[in-house]
């Protein structure tokens, strides 16, 4: 049966899909994740109702922009089958899909964006290896502990 709620961070490039876009559509299939570790977190770790922080990357002020919830179990990412999609993967098949996604439901924007620069000031408390503060980490979906979640939200 249900395990206790878990927490996650999911990155997005706001020029492609921002927290405002998520607010507008309400729920979004989180397509385009093409990293095995990130996929495995969605497929094996996420549960309905889990908390998600939405992080804006590759933009003028990168940082945590809002909150969302996991709104589905993992299922095959349809864009991998679509030759017209940027996320098309010719090596994947419907019989044996390679990439999975979950639906993500908007909860709220943070009262202000928490810049990465501020998050970094708490690198010690967040712990070694926390992907946002670890050097060179590009992982786009990763777990956040309850303590990290609380600390990050307290910066709002």
The number of CA neighbours under 13 Å toward the Cβ of 109 is 11
Identify the residue among 5, 17, 23, 34 touching DNA (CB under 7 A).
34
Report whether 64 contacts 137 (CB < 8 A): no
The binding track of 14-33 with respect to DNA, each residue x by CB under 7 A or -, is: --------------------
Nearer to DNA, 49 or 112 (CB): 112
| DSSP-H helix ranges across 26-115 | 36-40
Residues 108 to 147: which contact DNA by CB under 7 A? Answer: 116-117, 120, 134-140
Task: Name the phi and psi angles at 112, rounded to 5.
Answer: -150, 155
Which positions touch DNA (CB under 7 A)?
11, 13, 34-37, 57-59, 62, 91, 116-117, 120, 134-140
């Amino acid at each position: 049966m249900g395990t206790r709620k878990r927490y996650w961070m999911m990155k997005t490039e706001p020029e492609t899909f921002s927290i405002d876009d998520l607010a507008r559509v309400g729920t979004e299939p989180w397509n385009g994740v093409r990293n095995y570790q990130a996929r495995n977190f969605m497929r094996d770790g996420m549960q309905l109702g889990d908390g998600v922080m939405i992080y804006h990357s590759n933009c003028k002020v990168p940082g945590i922009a809002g909150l969302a919830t996991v709104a589905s179990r993992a299922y095959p990412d349809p864009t991998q089958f679509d030759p017209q999609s940027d996320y098309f993967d010719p090596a994947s098949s419907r019989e044996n899909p390679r990439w999975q996604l979950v639906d993500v439901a908007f909860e709220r924007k943070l009262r202000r964006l928490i810049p990465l620069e501020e998050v970094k000031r708490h690198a010690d408390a967040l712990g070694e290896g926390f992907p946002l503060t670890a050097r060179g980490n590009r992982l786009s979906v990763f777990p956040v502990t309850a303590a990290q979640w609380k600390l990050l939200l307290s910066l709002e």
